[in-house]
Structure 1
């Protein structure tokens, strides 16, 4: 088996900006009223703890904010009402688990829309408003309600993004750039009139035409003397899927792909910095994942977890926020899921079962806790030390297609004499692979409660510990990485302080 020799040093310093917990994505906002949704999100907050949550559907009809009462048949008028009953329930829940909303302004209330075009199973209207003054008022009434309920100091910390992927005709009628810029200008000014300290961003574009749109967006803002607080975009990393039955099978892209990999992402930084007015503006990736469809079985795999680990090691190089799409599989863009594992976007699937990629985020959050500095980063691992000089790392064996290539990362580090404990948490296709257990049980769409619990029991990392003595001021240890494996490790100094009379070796009958 190939061995990678890696010498670590407390004196090393590598660039590593870890914003793993900055934001998480969600399906349409109305789903937050479901218990399953809430259970999945609570699990994410318990184990990872995200700061913001961003998703679609703030103004969709199932949230019931915009209401028209037509009394003309009785000789009266059409009057406008605003109903915040469901919005308050959703945001009360988010805040109760220490999540702040990242406000995406969209989609269009049906009675305010200029057209009939909709997207998704739940029919979000993706046409411009027929009356921009009414759209402006909707934004302002909503923000003022939120300020009244939650307080200005809280609400102005919630970022605001104008629409979602307007460069795609499905998300914005005809992908009309000029019309989107109008929407942005009206929305930006509406928010700033409520409070100039709101942070407002756009254009929330996805790949393909992102360079063209971001440049044109900044030219428009420059011409209109608008200063967006952040520039937002999305990032997905698979080729076009091949559809079979209910599913779409997609191949992973090389992360160094010039168009859609890290170089493509970096082009956004270069475009922004080419405008003196906007140089240095923060970039928020308000959606990212491997595949961009919620029926891609790749999402449920250990391969996905390892690939996302490599993404998390580098996304902070240019971006101040990146939001995985999504936290859970309580999600209905292409309809209600048919089975437990269905290729959903989520870190967690039904039954509150964490997928392997859930642990990618948990492991990177461990790196952030008590963080001091990064001492090593390459395409197989990232290693940091914390303020107590504990060495922490995440290593991963990323493959784009199954290759059978396993390897060992062999680490050596200079330390003070004494004993050290090596803690590992392993996620691979043998020890943390709920998808395999479900498959071996027959891939049933209807599962007994005991089967769900069995699958859940296979969804947690394998924990191992080993005591290592420093020899000549050095500690060496190996981490074996099978294909698509990901391992978290800690190396910490340990002293045995036993209770009076306790002898572990005697208990275990060791000589």
Structure 2
């Protein structure tokens, strides 16, 4: 038994729940496939993100940039056939692009370095004017097609330039040139666009954030936001196709995020500048087996309770398992980044995000938050999320001040290793790499939360307890009950028949 936690109905706790702002995807070209759109529709129907961010906007599979020879002169033309199809699909599903500008079209690239199975070119442009012309031409095309709303679509210049694989030699000065030229060109075209960078991840993060801001200060540039990434595992061990990692301490990772906030605020010119985590997850590999587990869901529940403390926005990487950075997935559960597996099978992590979205819809007044729970209220009652990352099964007890003249309905939705564990079901079925339709439906049937209910008498100091099993996440609502039985219907008598 745990100590009783009293929930102060008049309490005010800072809690920025921006869970539905943005979600990540693999390269944009994957949006041309049927399975990708099925997974995205499911996620949008159930959660509903505002923006989606992915790589490869200018990569050759999307086929925007083309050079050709005419009368001895090199000329440029643009082809928007695929990007229109992709963005049309996004808007139809109620989600807008978060425009990550990259990678480099082969014909515009200064070198041959590429990354990933799909060979995204990661070298600077051979001609910066042609680069900025391409960016502005695309923005103009998008505004012609979709209207002024395009000016509200966030823009990020490149992806992880502090890693040599993503930006040739991780050259900070060359990246800043790319940022500066792109920033100036976009602002000259339409100053309403919000442009951010440097989109760094992990390696030398403090050095890059500070160096980027010093260069901006020197040039008199004010980026609209600072962007970075956030992953929370040690370097993985590769066995066969799969990566095995150890989770890092949550507090250490939160401190790392706070250090970026502190660096930004140390510059008077940039104090308070918004920070966007344009990617975050546990493992940073697309074969990180932790992604498919209940521990991932519980760990991320704590992350989501605090990511908004120093960051305006944060984007989970990714919504679905259609993803090819290290090749086509070898099996159904392969450690993919997605919160949804093929066949629209929600992983436990999906429900963590779904619960936080439900929490946001319920109410914005947070009355309690600690390392294992967050609770909000509205005029009908309370709602909350509880999680258990690494303890044995625990019981959490709360006391609520409830209207003594009312009854309350307590609904619990439970996700743990015994109630909602599609990975275990798939394993017990023999780990079919390519399950058939009936197998998919069987696995999906084990991928939903367990729902329980009870009636709670209203009183000051009403006590409610929750069992949260190891690696579990529990969502609850405690709301006024509107009891309207039909004439002659007696529930107690109904269930007493024998």
1:147 maps to 143
Alignment check: 8 A CA contact 1:4 1:408 kept: no
- Counterpart pick for 1:481 among 468, 471, 475: 468
CA distance in 1, matches of 2:128, 2:304: 39
1:393 maps to 384
Give the SS at the match of 1:491: strand
Q: How many corresponding residue pairs? A: 497
TM-score, reference length from structure 2: 0.98
Q: Deviations 1:176-227 (Å, cap 9, x if unpaired)?
A: 0010000000111111121011000000001131110000000000111111
Paired residues for 1:186-205 under 5 Å: 186-205=181-200
Q: Are 1:469 and 2:457 an aligned pair?
A: yes
Deviating more after overlay: 115-124 vs 185-194: 185-194
Q: Deviations 1:279-333 (Å, cap 9, x if unpaired)?
A: 1110000000001000011000000000000000000001111000000000000
Q: Deviations 1:356-386 (Å, cap 9, x if unpaired)?
A: 0000011001111141411110111000102
1:437 maps to 425
Alignment check: 8 A CA contact 1:4 1:407 kept: no
2:307 maps to 315
Change over 3 Å in CA distance of 1:195–1:311 after alignment to 2: same
Give the SS at the match of 2:374: strand
2:369 maps to 377
Q: CA deviation at 1:448?
A: 2.1
Q: CA deviation at 1:504?
A: 1.9
Paired residues for 1:23-172 under 5 Å: 23-71=22-70, 76-152=72-148, 154-172=149-167
Which structure 2 residue ranges, 5 or more long, are not aligned? none
Give the SS at the match of 1:285: strand
Deviating more after overlay: 444-453 vs 373-382: 444-453
1:500 maps to 487
Alignment check: 8 A CA contact 2:317 2:337 kept: yes
Deviating more after overlay: 4-13 vs 89-98: 4-13
CA distance in 2, matches of 1:508, 1:210: 62
CA distance in 1, matches of 2:359, 2:218: 43
2:345 maps to 353
CA distance in 2, matches of 1:314, 1:371: 17
CA distance in 2, matches of 1:499, 1:415: 26
Alignment check: 8 A CA contact 1:422 1:491 kept: yes
Give the SS at the match of 1:256: helix
Q: Deviations 1:5-50 (Å, cap 9, x if unpaired)?
A: 2111201221111000010000000001111100111111111111
CA distance in 1, matches of 2:15, 2:136: 39
Change over 3 Å in CA distance of 1:372–1:166 after alignment to 2: closer
1:458 maps to 446
Q: Deviations 1:64-87 (Å, cap 9, x if unpaired)?
A: 00012235xxx5433211000111
Give the SS at the match of 1:104: strand
Which structure 1 residue ranges, 5 or more long, are not aligned? none
